[in-house]
Structure 1
Amino acid sequence: MTPEVLIGILVLVAVGIVALLVRRMESRLGSGNGTPGDLAEDRALLLRDEFDRARTEANTRDAALREEVGKSMAAATEALAASQKEHLTGLGNQLERQVRELREGNEQKLDQMRATVDEKLQGTLEKRLGEAFAQVSQRLEAVHEGLGEMKQLAEDVGDFKKVLTNVKSRGTWGEVQLRSILEEVLAPGQWEANVKPLPDSDAIVEFAIRLPGRDDQQQVWLPVDAKFPQEDYTRLQEAQDRADPEAADVAGKALGQAVVRAATDIRDKYLGPPHTTEFGILFLPTEGLYAEVLRRQEVVDQLQRLRITVAGPTTLAAILNAFRMGFHTLAIEQRSSEVWAVLGAVKTEFGKFGDVLAKLKKQLGTAQKTIDDTGVRTRAMERRLREVEEVPDDEAQRLLDLTGVEEPGEDALAEEQ
């Protein structure tokens, strides 16, 4: 029973009690014989007693009702608590089951994902490892080949070092490089190898450039000799690598002295105007050596006083190109008179050719006049022959004694035209 129903019952009971009390009071007042004051007092007492009794009964009923309501509320609360507990228990069990199912599903999916990821990682790892091993193998093979090339290069460097260590081999290497430049720039007749430039000396220079003399006299030689002071240059480089200025200065002075000695040797052995030029060329086979010599102004000044021009590979090529252009200009100047003579002969022959053309024109005019006269006579003969009766071809050939003579066909006439 709900609290609202109990409260409604209590209200109805209270209303019934009040109605009953009123009815009893009216019955007592109707049967009494007292005065109005007594009646009023009795009525008041009666009402008080009735109200007290009604209050007592109401209190009793209220207490009973409260007790019953309390019991009902307690029972309802216990029932609601039990129902909620049962509901919560079921909900907890259901939630636990769903969580367990969700956990199991997640674990299965995670296992599947882990297996898939492991499989892909394994495949990718194997592929990457295979590619990495292939690249490493290729790199190792390339390194092996590079080591072989480095070994060969080291052997070649060793051989080259042996060549440079030997003085004769160094000289041969410089001569080979100098010959290569001469062959590349100049024509074969513009230079010679192993030339004896001075008639009264047995000294032979490695190479000499043939220059034309003055007034068509005998040729003039320009001596070109190759030198390579490799020991002094090597000591200078080693001192510079060690950052040793004192050793570098000593080695630089020694290098300059070696170059000056070589220039003096060229001047004393190979220079002798008018058979040679007044200067010679000292060829240094490396650009580094050439640059080191040019850095030392005192060496350059001594070479100028000795009338020796020092040249590296690039500088020598530029000098030879200048000589080649000079050779071309000189050849053009020397052949200019021949060219004018040829042009004069051509002019004379061209005048004769004009005379021949005039004669040919005159002869062609005469032939044209003769052909015109022949045409006139032919037309006159045709007019006269129109009155003569034509005879068959066979008869005409017999009368004119033309038997066996074939007439020209259309093809022959076309060819003649």
Structure 2
Amino acid sequence: MEYVIVGLLGVVIVLLLVLVFRKNNNNEMTERLGHFEANINKEIGEFKYGFSKVLTQDFELLNERIEKKLTLINDRVNERLDQNFEKSNKTFMNVLERLNKIDEAQKKIDSLNGEIVSLQSVLTDKKTRGTFGEVNLEYILNNAFGSNKNGIYKTQVKLSTGVIADAILYAPAPLGTIAIDSKFPLENYQRMTDKTKTKEEREYHEKLFVQDVKKHINDISEKYIIPGETTDEAIMFLPAEALFAEINAYHPELLNFAYNKRVWIAGPTTLISTVSIISMILKNMERDKYAKVIHEELNKLSVEFSRYKDRWDKLARTVKSVNQSIDELHTTSEKITKRFDSINSVDLDKLGNKEDTIKIETY
């Protein structure tokens, strides 16, 4: 564009020189030069208008494409979030429903507290109680994670030391692999709560109950906390809510002992809460995978915006340079017109008798 302008300027200067040497055609050449200048101004104006129109159309088209892309991304994000929120809400409602069922069952257990002897007829020995605890544990894990397990937990797992854990929970970091073992210290608990016995007998059996629980805590700490294989904490599951309530309400020394041994004591309700939280964490981690994809797409879009800005700035500088060249050409044209007017006002016959030379300024 600058070369064209310089070329036009050169043509104008050549015409000026021709006019100086052809005195008899000054008026006609002045008129032609005026028409020529008007045509140049008209063509430059049309060029500016066409260039501005094309630029506006391209910018509008670019904005339209960007808006469509952003709308599409937003729709996809909202769709995935809605799906995930719906699934999370269903899971939460299922947990609440199960907790309500557990509360109802607990009320029934409380109402049947005086008939615990019937339970004793079923749980006659340690093996039977152990089976009851294992079944109860697996039922809770199935409700939380599903019967297919999905690699989140396993039951009856043999560890490197040869011991068998009732369940292994593969929790996300930083929790890691957690061993769960079911314990059911029932005999001394029944005797310490038996109202038919004397106070001294109940206190004696209460001490034995505390010893039983401490032994279970020690066994779990020594057997199921294995450096490099399991996490440095384990869970002791008490399948009867009454046992957990007794320890939690009246035996804080057992809670402190378990804490020092890095063993969590859990009843059915607290274990359900624990595994439900872990389940929600796993689902949130799965949802975060989609959030990472969205973040990557936004980063790519940011790069495109950066390129768009650079190209727009470059185009703006080009337009500014063109406008500046047009202004300079207009100034030169004005000066040439004034010079022709000055030449036309001079008496050429008088000038012919003198040896003065007319010097033409160039701008």
TM-score, scaled to structure 2? 0.46
Q: Higher Cα Rg: structure 1 or 2?
A: 1
Q: Which has the higher contact order (CA 8 A, sep 6+)?
A: 2
TM-score, scaled to structure 1? 0.40
